[in-house]
Amino acid sequence: MDFLDALKNKVLIFDGAMGTSIHKYDLTLDDYQGCENCPEVLVDSRPDVLSEIHESFFKVGCDVVETDSFGGSPIVLAEFGIAERAYELNKKAAQLAKEVAHGYSQNGQQRYVSGSIGPTTKLPSLGHISLDDMREAYYLQVSGLVDGGVDVLQFETGQDLLQAKAAVLAMVDYFKKIGRRVPIITQVTIEAPPLGTMLVGTDISAALATLRAFPIDVIGLNCATGPSEMIDSIQYLTNNFNGFVSCLPNAGLPENINDQTVYKLTPDELATSLKYFVEELGVNIIGGCCGTTPEHLKRVVETLGNRAPKPRTPEYTPAVSSIYTPQAMRVDPAPLIIGERTNTNGSR
């Protein structure tokens, strides 16, 4: 069963935080091949670590794991002097995750791999990079992930709609080249209230108005906050988007305790929150982002494993959008349209 068919039949549970999992290992600079804190090189230097992480989430019942490729674009890798390795590292990340997934796809339970694509370190809306250059960079990353065998592509932690546009356009470009497509997930990050927008100021309604024009199968949220801060935005998506909706929150808001980043949301609290998203709001994909561990996802699987999706009847309102807010194309009262006969005499 392919990924989209599976989504029609059950709520899919994604894994937890790759970065959090990696930091639990005592890795050396040699492990990072001299590129300190560049986890993407671990697919080459320490595939055993990444395999263990993927296995840790499959063992507790997750349906999907994400590749170790969040920062795998040439844009990010260039900061470590290894931009030319983008295709190679992304393909290896996909192949490694697929190998592990294959080993856990048994007894009728299919396991999937999602190709993780992060926002890079550039904001095109602020002039850090052109849309065309970002699109070209993402094309390399997309090609490596697809050639490596991912079941779905996942642009995540979007901070700028132009990042999302560039990523999705790169995906479409590569699909045209190879004559087939894989499903697309696009997830934005909404900061905690009182800001309540993406980093560049885009609210969730503007994000949806823009993204729904693209061939995206799943739109959702991840990162920045815990589940409680996501409720309003997720409810907006489930009420207004007729595709699938995803929610991958952090384990709460991060706290700095003794110079350490600590996430305090417990496995039970995460499972309870995601249960509400699934049962009340009709979310189709759940999982975890920063701070979430196999223990968190184990509790989520125990609570929501093999759960059929709740039917939704979203309302579609055509709209156009600026970078900040949308404008509905249908308004009440409607605009007053004033006509005039042709003024052939040119009297005014």
CB 252 within 8 A of CB 328: no
**Better pLDDT: 292 or 254:** 292
Instruction: Check residue 311 and give its pLDDT.
Output: 96
pLDDT digits (tens, 9 = 90+) for 107-117: 878 999 999 99
Q: Is residue 258 very low, low, confident or very high in pLDDT (cuts 50, 70, 90)?
A: confident
- Rounded-to-integer distance, Cα 92 and Cα 119, Å: 20
Name the percent of the chain lying above pLDDT 70.
97
- At 135, phi and psi to the nearest 5? -60, -45
Closest CA to 97 of 147, 146, 51, 151: 51
Output DSSP code: residue 305: T
Tell me what the pLDDT averaged over the chain comes to: 95
Residue for token pair 């590129």? 35
Residue for token pair 């997930």? 185
For 4, the token pair is 């989209």
Has residue 179 got a pLDDT over 90? yes
- 14: helix, coil or strand? strand
Output DSSP code: residue 224: S
- Rounded-to-integer distance, Cα 150 and Cα 141, Å: 12
Q: Is residue 346 very low, low, confident or very high in pLDDT (cuts 50, 70, 90)?
A: low
Amino acid type, 319: A
pLDDT digits (tens, 9 = 90+) for 114-136: 999 999 999 999 999 999 999 99
Per-domain boundaries in the chain: 11-311
CB 241 within 8 A of CB 314: yes
Give CA separation, 105 vs 1, 53, 63, 112, 238, in Å. Answer: 11, 16, 9, 9, 30
For 48, the token pair is 């055993």
Has residue 41 got a pLDDT over 80? yes
Architecture of domain 11-311: Alpha-Beta Barrel (3.20)
Which conformational region is residue 332 in: left (phi greater than 0), alpha (psi within -120 to 50 degrees), or beta? beta
- Rounded-to-integer distance, Cα 45 and Cα 31, Å: 6
Instruction: Check residue 347 and give its pLDDT.
Output: 60
Closest CA to 145 of 119, 171, 122: 171
Instruction: Check residue 348 and give its pLDDT.
Output: 58
For 290, the token pair is 């920063």
Q: How many CB atoms lie within 10 A of CB 254?
A: 17
Instruction: Check residue 259 and give its pLDDT.
Output: 82
- Rounded-to-integer distance, Cα 198 and Cα 70, Å: 18
pLDDT digits (tens, 9 = 90+) for 291-330: 999 999 999 999 999 999 999 999 988 899 999 999 988 8
Q: Please tell me the pTM assigned to this model.
A: 0.94
Has residue 260 got a pLDDT over 90? no
Instruction: Check residue 163 and give its pLDDT.
Output: 98
